Chain A
Amino acid sequence: MRVGLFVTCLVDLLRPRIGFAALRLLEAAGADVVVPRTQTCCGQPGYNSGDKQAARALAHKLLDEFQDCDYLVAPSGSCAAMIRVHYPTLFADTDDAAAMSRLAARTYELTDFLVTIAGLQTVPGTFAGRITYHDSCSGLRELGVRKQPRTLIAKLPHVDLQEMHEAQTCCGFGGTFAVKYGDISARMAENKCAQITATGADAVVAGDLGCLLNIEGRLRREGSQKTRVLHIAELLAGETPEST
């Protein structure tokens, strides 16, 4: 099973550890993982800013890079949804429609892949303590990722999952929204952080780095140093040291 890991531009730049954690999990699931070197971005920032042309160009690039993979897996619900849900729309009624649909059908969000396709039984993570899980919007609503991460979390023997209120409410990230409408975005983050803190969890976990940056940034600005902010891949893989 040849799996192409799409690291995502945010993870590449801001938190490589998540990429290595995803790699470790995929390998634990028995996948033969390849990481195409020329990968950059799925095109979502352009797509959501109204630039279809840029989004199409990046879709073509990504299609070429992952052509020979049985699956494409991304540690992000929103990037996976971009490929799985939006690429086919972007190329509807074009010559590439069929190829894009095939790519879309092979694309999975990480936890979805681990549970639905790979049937991963044990996870290497060693975290001990109480966590709460934030359902990132795209993964949840566009891909139906809700049970998958919880199924995997349940495999960690020392983790106690305490659900927060409104776990499915947006944290306010929304890509460029967070900068363009900073005060609305920060208020949404504030509301989310209040729910997180109310659970008394040692860590908040989510499947998208964008949400994590937003939540962590808000928690720290509020002076809260206690709650850790982890990607689901980091939690499941065990916190591997960053480099080699």
Chain B
Amino acid sequence: MKLSSAQFKHTARKNLHDVRLQQALHRLQERFVGARAAALTDIDDLPRLRAAATEIRQHALTHLDVYLEQFERQVVASGGQVHWARDAAEVNRILLELAARYQVRKVAKSKSMVSEECGINEMLAANGIEVIETDLGEYILQLAREPPSHIVAPVVHKNKEDIADLFVRHHHRPRTTEIAELCREAREMLRPHFLSADMGISGANFLVAETGSALIVTNEGNGRLVTTLPRVHVAITGIEKVVPTLEDVSVLLRLLTRSATGQSITNYVSVLTGHKRASDLDGPEHFHVILVDNGRSQLLGTELEAMLRCIRCGACMNHCPVYQNIGGHAYGWVYPGPMGSVLTPNLVGLSEARDLPNASTFCGACAEVCPVSIPLPDLLRHLRVRQLEQGLRPRRERGSLRVWAWFAQHPRAYAWASRLAARLLRAVANRRGMIRRLPLAGGWTDGRDFPAPSGRTFRDLYARRTSS
């Protein structure tokens, strides 16, 4: 996926004034925030379940090598093959080799954010292979040639009118804005592709080490078709997705679906193990898993390791007041919201996404809802430390930080400077005590007044009081 995180401010500003997008974001919030809260009420001891989920994910990361190797052995034992990809280029090379080996002309895909990371669709198309996204949201985005703006609801930025127009243009059928009708229409267009595709590509929500299974959690049933109808099934996912046992998955699932969409369980949970056996009614002839690193392993053993616990539920963005106002595209890459603000700089480079760690008030709503207790604000703060260390902050910001730090450590100078500042600010206020414009703080005064001080510092007033 094309990286545009450097345009964060620009896109955010544009999105703040996009009325349709604002309505869509409002609907998302209404739908997911309330649904999550309601769904979690049927869990007796939420803190305990959350601690258990956190522990499972953390344990898997601490012993990542062990579980990944176990996973590979189990995949091989069930007749499949595991491929290790260091980066996006390797993923694409492996995929092309597989496509050549099995003479693939058409690929049906179910939703996979890792495949977005690696730009698989563009690469396959460039090599003459047709790719069809079959998740409804991803299908719409493919028609519209747009990137996803949410990891669970990728097309959340569009409303049904947008989609109706898009369908008319591509399907040449009468226009409808009935959601059920739109779904039916998409299903009819997609069905032949499931049957004619040579390869199905899916992601994986979890990899189960003890069984060698790739597990996917979906609502539309397309994932099941993609992974059973075509001759070849390739699951592409990040190395961090492994967990030891199916039992562990059951704990994580209870939180994943509730946190994501507010469902106690999704319509489909598919446990995909190996290729079709003699006794199976259906299934692929060949089963491959591509395990993608793409920058993940460099987080292991660092202050940022907790980020790898993420189970991609999207709750952090649904609850983030910044995401709620600017939408996912502003973040400029595959992963938006708080989790994206941590992941993107790590996966694409700190200097490529300078705004992301800073565009947070540290309100903590994300960490509060994260089902695997990722301290997202702490991780963002750590990225700010790294940015400063690597000289990635603007000179003016670094300068003012130094000036502030010096004054704050020299109480007499500080008292003098704050006394002066209090007077100056008072002097430029209007008769209602508000400052309409402040040089160097236009970011504040463009959208708000600044309430002026009374003109004297507490320090001075208190000194006068105690001496009298």
B71 to chain A, nearest CB (A): 34
A129 within 8 A of B: no
A173–B401 contact, CB under 8 A?
Answer: no
Q: Which residues of A contact B418 (CB under 8 A)?
A: 9, 12-13
A226 within 8 A of B: no
A97 within 8 A of B: no
Stretch of A100-108, A181-189, A196-204 lying at the B interface: A181-189
Stretch of A34-42, A66-74, A115-123, A150-158 lying at the B interface: A34-42
Supposing A40-B411, A137-B362 touch, asked if A17 and B385 sit within 8 A by C-beta, the answer is no
Q: Which residues of A contact B468 (CB under 8 A)?
A: 244
B393 within 8 A of A: yes
Interface residues of A in 37-68 (CB under 8 A from B): 37-41, 43, 45-52, 54, 57-58, 61
**Cβ contacts B445-461/A at 8 Å (1 or 0 each):** 01111110110111101
Nearest-neighbor residue (CB-CB) of A43 within chain B: B408
Stretch of B88-96, B277-285, B353-361 lying at the A interface: B353-361
A16 within 8 A of B: yes
B104 within 8 A of A: no
B456–A186 contact, CB under 8 A?
Answer: no
B461–A16 contact, CB under 8 A?
Answer: yes
CA distance A170 to B326 in the complex (A): 15
Nearest-neighbor residue (CB-CB) of A61 within chain B: B409
Stretch of B9-17, B230-238, B241-249, B306-314 lying at the A interface: B9-17
Nearest-neighbor residue (CB-CB) of B358 within chain A: A180
B425 to chain A, nearest CB (A): 8
Q: Which residues of B contact A168 (CB under 8 A)?
A: 365
A94 within 8 A of B: no
Q: Which residues of A contact B451 (CB under 8 A)?
A: 14, 212-213, 216-217, 220, 229
The answer, among B16, B362, B450, for a CB contact under 8 Å with A187, is: B16
**Cβ contacts A214-226/B at 8 Å (1 or 0 each):** 1011101100010
B465–A244 contact, CB under 8 A?
Answer: yes
B316 to chain A, nearest CB (A): 14
A16–B442 contact, CB under 8 A?
Answer: no
A179 within 8 A of B: yes
CA distance A39 to B441 in the complex (A): 26
CA distance A218 to B385 in the complex (A): 31
Most buried by A among B358, B362, B389: B362
B7 within 8 A of A: no
A173–B397 contact, CB under 8 A?
Answer: no
B388–A49 contact, CB under 8 A?
Answer: yes
Supposing A11-B458, A15-B453 touch, asked if A46 and B361 sit within 8 A by C-beta, the answer is no
Nearest-neighbor residue (CB-CB) of B9 within chain A: A181
Nearest-neighbor residue (CB-CB) of B448 within chain A: A217
CA distance A183 to B326 in the complex (A): 10
B338 to chain A, nearest CB (A): 12
The answer, among B321, B447, B461, for a CB contact under 8 Å with A244, is: B461
B363 within 8 A of A: yes
CA distance A138 to B368 in the complex (A): 12
A186–B361 contact, CB under 8 A?
Answer: no
B331 to chain A, nearest CB (A): 12
A119 to chain B, nearest CB (A): 26
CA distance A186 to B325 in the complex (A): 11
A169–B411 contact, CB under 8 A?
Answer: no
B325–A13 contact, CB under 8 A?
Answer: no
The answer, among B365, B385, B444, B449, for a CB contact under 8 Å with A169, is: B365
A37–B432 contact, CB under 8 A?
Answer: no
Which label, helix, strand, loop or mixed, suits the secondary structure of the A interface?
helix
A48–B457 contact, CB under 8 A?
Answer: no
A149 within 8 A of B: no
Q: Which residues of A contact B464 (CB under 8 A)?
A: 243-244
A149 to chain B, nearest CB (A): 18
CA distance A48 to B397 in the complex (A): 13
A238 within 8 A of B: no
Interface residues of B in 1-37 (CB under 8 A from A): 9, 12-13, 16
CA distance A173 to B448 in the complex (A): 11
CA distance A43 to B408 in the complex (A): 8
CA distance A227 to B407 in the complex (A): 36
A184–B422 contact, CB under 8 A?
Answer: no
Most buried by A among B326, B387, B432, B458: B458
B421 within 8 A of A: yes
CA distance A138 to B414 in the complex (A): 26
A183–B446 contact, CB under 8 A?
Answer: yes
Nearest-neighbor residue (CB-CB) of B435 within chain A: A217
A31 within 8 A of B: no
B414–A16 contact, CB under 8 A?
Answer: no
A3 within 8 A of B: no
A142 within 8 A of B: yes
A96 within 8 A of B: no
The answer, among A14, A137, A218, A225, for a CB contact under 8 Å with B447, is: A218
The answer, among B368, B404, B441, B442, for a CB contact under 8 Å with A141, is: B368
CA distance A243 to B422 in the complex (A): 14
Q: Which residues of A contact B322 (CB under 8 A)?
A: 181, 184, 188
A65 to chain B, nearest CB (A): 9
CA distance A179 to B359 in the complex (A): 11
CA distance A190 to B17 in the complex (A): 13
B381 within 8 A of A: yes
A178 within 8 A of B: yes
Nearest-neighbor residue (CB-CB) of A35 within chain B: B462
Q: Which residues of B contact A174 (CB under 8 A)?
A: 360-363
B359–A184 contact, CB under 8 A?
Answer: yes
A85 to chain B, nearest CB (A): 10
**Cβ contacts B344-382/A at 8 Å (1 or 0 each):** 000000000000001111111101100000000010010
The answer, among B404, B411, B422, for a CB contact under 8 Å with A37, is: B411
B443–A180 contact, CB under 8 A?
Answer: yes
8 tightest A-B CB contacts, nearest first: A186-B447, A174-B361, A182-B443, A50-B384, A170-B363, A217-B448, A16-B458, A54-B405
Known: A138-B364, A188-B325. 11 other contacts (CB 8 A): A13-B418, A50-B389, A54-B404, A137-B365, A141-B365, A178-B443, A180-B443, A183-B12, A184-B359, A190-B447, A217-B434
* 17 CB < 8 A contacts A-B: A16-B454, A16-B456, A35-B462, A46-B405, A48-B384, A49-B388, A50-B381, A54-B401, A58-B405, A58-B408, A58-B409, A180-B443, A187-B16, A212-B451, A217-B450, A221-B449, A229-B451
